[in-house]
Structure 1
Amino acid sequence: MIQIARITAYPLRLMLALFAAYAVYTIPSLLPRWGASAVGIPLLIGWLALAAIALPLAQGRWHGRRTWIALAAIVVALRVAALVLLWNRVPSADPIIYVQIASDIIAGHGLFFVDPRSNVVFLALYPPAYPLLLAGLGSVFGLGQVILSLSNLVFDLLAALLIVWIGDRAGSRAGGLAAAWLWLIWPTFVFATPFAQKEPLVAVLILAMILRLLRLRDHPVPAFHDGLIFGVLAGLLALSQPGLATLPATFGLFLIPVVGFRPLLILALRSVPVLLLVMAPWWIRNGLVLGHFVPLTTTGGLGLWIGNNPNTSGNWMPLPPGLAALPELEQSARAAAVAKAWIAAHPVDMLILNATKLVRSFAIEHFTLIRLTAVTPDFPVGITAVFLPLFQGALIAVLAATAALIGRARRIAHGDWLVLLFAAAMAQILIFDVWFEFAERHRYFTMPFLFLLIGFGLAAARTEPRVVPAR
Structure 2
Amino acid sequence: MGYQEGGFPTAFWPVGYPALIGAATWLFGPTLFGPLLFNLIAQAATILLILWLARRLGAGEGAARLAALLYALYPAHIAYTGDTAAETTVTAVTLAGIALILKGRGGKSLGWAFLGGLVLGAAMLMRPQTMLLPPFLVGALWLSRGVDWRRALLLLVLIVAGMAVVVAPWTMRNRAVLGAPVLVSTNGGVALQAGANDLADGGYFQVEKSPLWAQVGIPFAERVPRQVEIDRRLKAMATDWIAAHPVRWGTLGMRKVALLWMKDGDAFWSLDASHPERETLWKIAQGVNQLFYMALLGLAAIGIGLAARAAWAGRQGAEMLVAGVMPLFCTALAFGFTGQTRYHYPAMPFVVILAAWVIARRLGEPSRAPAAMSGHDG
TM-score interval, normalised by the smaller of the two chains: 0.7 to 0.9
Task: Please tell me the residue identity of whatever aligns with 1:249.
Answer: P
Q: Which runs of 5+ in 2 are unaligned?
A: 368-378
User: Are the equivalent residues in 2 in contact too, given 1:361–1:443 (CA < 8 A)?
Assistant: yes
Aligned residue in 1 for 2:255 = 356
Query: How far did 1:335 drift?
Result: 2.1
Aligned to 2:365: 463
Give me the TM-score of the superposition, normalised by structure 1. Answer: 0.67
Change (3 A) 1:343 1:270: closer
Q: Distance in 1 between matches of 2:9 and 2:290?
A: 36
Which structure has more relative contact order (CA 8 Å, sep 6+)? It is: 1
Structure 1 position 241, deviation (Å): 0.8
User: 1:249 is matched with which residue?
Assistant: 135
Inter-partner Cα distance in structure 2 for 1:113 and 1:449:
36
CA RMSD of aligned residues (A): 2.8
Equivalence for 1:222 = 109
| Partner Cα distance (2:207, 2:53) in 1 | 40
The answer to whether structure 1 residue 392 and structure 2 residue 290 are counterparts is yes
The Cα offsets for residues 109-160 of structure 1, whole Å up to 9 and x where unpaired, read as: 322345xxxxx95601111222222212220112523333222111011011
Counterpart CA distance in 1 for 2:293 and 2:114 is: 37
Shift of 1:331: 1.8
Distance 1:159 1:376, change over 3 A: closer
The 5 Å alignment of 1:50-449 reads: 109-114=1-6, 123-171=10-58, 172-216=60-104, 218-219=106-107, 221-223=108-110, 225-257=111-143, 258=145, 259-309=147-197, 310-319=199-208, 320=210, 322=214, 323=216, 324-325=220-221, 326=223, 327-373=226-272, 375=273, 378-379=276-277, 382=280, 385-406=283-304, 415-422=317-324, 424-449=325-350
Q: Secondary structure at the match of 1:255?
A: helix
8 Å CA contact 1:343–1:350 kept in 2: the answer is yes
Change (3 A) 1:344 1:263: closer
| 1:263 shift after superposition | 2.2
Q: Is the 8 A contact 1:222 1:263 kept in 2?
A: no
Aligned length: 348
- Normalization by structure 2: what TM-score? 0.82
Task: Tell me whether 279-288 or 208-217 shows the greater mean CA deviation.
Answer: 208-217
> Unaligned stretches of 5+ in structure 1?
1-108, 115-119, 466-471
Counterpart residue type for residue 3 of structure 2: L
Q: State the distance in 2 between where 1:302 and 1:182 align.
A: 35
Change in CA separation of 1:193 and 1:316 when aligned onto 2, cut-off 3 Å: farther
Task: Kindly indicate whether the alpha-carbon contact (under 8 Å) linking 2:101 and 2:115 is maintained by their aligned counterparts in 1.
Answer: no
Three-state SS of the structure 2 residue aligned to 1:110 is coil
Deviations 1:162-215 (A, max 9, x none): 111112222223212211122222211211222222222222222223323333
DSSP 3-state at the match of 1:245: helix
122-131 or 401-410: bigger deviation: 401-410
Contact 1:127–1:241, Cα closer than 8 Å, also in 2:
yes
Structure 2 vs 1, CA of residues 447 and 335 (structure 1 numbering), >3 Å: closer, same or farther?
same
Amino acid at match of 2:203: G
Distance 1:143 1:437, change over 3 A: farther
Cα deviations across residues 434-453 of structure 1 (Å, max 9, x unaligned)? 21133111111211111001
Cα deviations by residue, 1:399-440 (Å, 9 ceiling, x for unpaired) = 2232345556788x9532222441x33443454442113311
Letter in structure 1 aligned against 2:79 = F
Deviation at 1:294, TM superposition (A): 0.3
Name which of structure 1's ranges 340-349 and 149-158 shifts more when overlaid on structure 2: 340-349
Query: Is 1:451 equivalent to 2:355 in the alignment?
Result: no
- Contact 1:242 / 1:296 at 8 angstroms: preserved in 2? yes
Distance 1:341 1:452, change over 3 A: same
1:28-48 C-alpha deviation (Å, 9 max, x unpaired) = xxxxxxxxxxxxxxxxxxxxx
How much does 1:216 deviate? 4.2
